[in-house]
Amino acid sequence: MLNQEENKLKKDLAQVVRLLHEERSSSIAYGEDYANLLDNHGKLIRATLTLIFSYAAEVQEHGSNDFRRPDESQDTKMTADEEGRVESLPSMASSVEEDESGKRIGRHARTLIGATAIEMLHLATLAHDDVIDNAPVRRGKPTVQTLDGNKAAIYLGDLLLSRYMEVMATVAPDTGFLVQQAHDVNEIVAGDLFQSSLAHDCSVTIEDYERAIRGKTATLFRLACTTGTILAVGRSDSSCIDRAAAIGEELGMAYQIIDDIDDFDLTQKSDKPKLEDITSGIYTLPVILALRDDPGFEALLIKDKPDLILEYFSRHPDYMLASKNEVKKHLDHAQALCNGDATPPLPQGPRTLLLRIIDKLRSAV
281: left (phi over 0), alpha (psi -120 to 50) or beta: left
**Tens digit of each residue's pLDDT (9 = 90 or more) over 158-194:** 999 999 999 999 999 999 999 999 999 999 999 999 9
The mean predicted confidence, pLDDT, of the chain is 86
Beta bridge partners of 141: 138
- Range with the lowest mean pLDDT among 191-195, 263-267, 335-339? 263-267
Alpha helices in 201-284 (DSSP H): 206-213, 219-233, 238-262, 276-279
CB of 72 closer than 8 Å to CB of 64: no
Give the separation between CA 1 and CA 265, rounded to whole angstroms: 39
pLDDT value at 324 more than 70: yes
pLDDT value at 67 more than 50: no
User: Which pLDDT belongs to residue 248?
Assistant: 98
List Cα–Cα distances, 56 to 64, 90, 140, 347, in angstroms: 10, 25, 35, 6
> How many domains does the chain fold into?
1
Report residue 93's pLDDT band, with 50, 70 and 90 as the boundaries. Answer: very low
Beta bridge partners of 137: 142
- Range with the lowest mean pLDDT among 10-14, 78-82, 349-353? 78-82
Mean pLDDT (whole number) for 231-235:
93
Phi, psi dihedral angles at 193 (to 5 degrees)? -65, -40
Give the separation between CA 303 and CA 344, rounded to whole angstroms: 51
pLDDT value at 30 more than 80: no
Going by C-alpha positions, the residue among 211, 251, 231 that lies closest to residue 353 is 251
Report residue 325's pLDDT band, with 50, 70 and 90 as the boundaries. Answer: very high
The percentage of the chain sitting over the pLDDT mark of 90, rounded to a whole number, equals 62
User: Which pLDDT belongs to residue 99?
Assistant: 47
Query: Three-class SS of residue 138?
Result: strand
List Cα–Cα distances, 77 to 24, 98, 104, 109, in angstroms: 18, 10, 10, 10
- Which of 215-224, 234-243, 343-352 has the highest mean predicted lDDT (pLDDT)? 215-224
pLDDT value at 24 more than 50: yes
Going by C-alpha positions, the residue among 26, 243, 260, 205 that lies closest to residue 120 is 26
Report residue 222's pLDDT band, with 50, 70 and 90 as the boundaries. Answer: very high
Give the separation between CA 335 and CA 345, rounded to whole angstroms: 10
Structural domain containing residue 67:
2-363
- Range with the lowest mean pLDDT among 126-130, 196-200, 287-291? 126-130
> Is 88 or 11 the better-scoring residue by pLDDT?
11
pLDDT value at 239 more than 80: yes
User: Which pLDDT belongs to residue 73?
Assistant: 37
Mean pLDDT (whole number) for 6-32:
85
- Range with the lowest mean pLDDT among 32-36, 114-118, 119-123, 265-269? 265-269
pTM of the entire predicted model: 0.89
pLDDT value at 102 more than 70: no
Report residue 25's pLDDT band, with 50, 70 and 90 as the boundaries. Answer: low
User: Which pLDDT belongs to residue 81?
Assistant: 44
Report residue 273's pLDDT band, with 50, 70 and 90 as the boundaries. Answer: low
Label residues 98-120 b or e (16+ Cβ within 10 Å = b).
ebeeebbbbbbbbbbbbbbbbbb
**In sequence order, what are the residues at sequence separation of 6 or more whose Cβ sits closer than 8 angstroms to the Cβ of residue 109?**
75, 78, 79, 84, 86
CATH number at residue 209: 1.10.600.10
pLDDT value at 2 more than 70: no
> Is 152 or 94 the better-scoring residue by pLDDT?
152
Mean pLDDT (whole number) for 307-325:
96
User: Which pLDDT belongs to residue 13?
Assistant: 96
